[in-house]
């Protein structure tokens, strides 16, 4: 069940999402800061991805594990994983498995899929 409610401020929302985990807070702050640059087509900027993490019930240390263990501390890759789920290309079960075991998702393939689906996704980081 989602934790973020309409009446919550961004600070309250982050407190609910991060569960006091400093790594999770760092990731969420980076998502908020870099949101429009990474995904100009995304709704609500970086807060949109934070809301999708809430929909996926990824909180606290699991946010950090997604960032560090699954995506090798690459914010664009975290964003791509979440957008791939939103676009129906990746299941929440696969994401849960990857967070738990650090494997099970071809992050490069998901990034390529999202870039193919969204023309403006992470344009600045394309090589």
Chain segment 59-77, per-residue pLDDT in tens? 999 999 999 999 999 999 9
* DSSP, res 90: S
Phi/psi at 102 (5° precision): 75, 15
Task: Please say whether the beta carbons of 57 and 94 come within 8 A.
Answer: no
Cβ–Cβ under 8 Å, residues 103 and 69: no
**How many angstroms separate the Cα of 14 from the Cα of each of 6, 9, 43, 63, 91?**
13, 9, 18, 12, 24
pTM over 0.75: yes
Rounded to whole angstroms, how far apart are CA atoms 62 and 82? 13
Q: What is the pLDDT of residue 121?
A: 94
Confidence check: pLDDT of 127 > 70: no
């Amino acid at each position: 069940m989602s934790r973020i409610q309409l009446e919550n401020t961004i600070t309250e929302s982050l407190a609910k999402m991060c569960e006091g985990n400093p790594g999770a807070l760092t990731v969420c702050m980076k998502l908020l800061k870099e949101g429009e640059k990474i995904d100009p087509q995304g709704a609500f900027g970086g807060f949109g991805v934070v809301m999708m993490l809430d929909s996926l019930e990824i909180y606290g240390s699991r946010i950090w594990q997604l960032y560090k263990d699954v995506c090798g501390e690459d914010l664009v890759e975290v964003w791509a994983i979440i957008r791939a789920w939103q676009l129906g290309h990746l299941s929440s079960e696969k994401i849960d498995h990857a967070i738990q075991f650090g494997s099970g998702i071809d992050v490069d393939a998901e990034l390529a899929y999202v870039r193919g689906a969204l023309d403006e996704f992470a344009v600045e980081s394309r090589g």
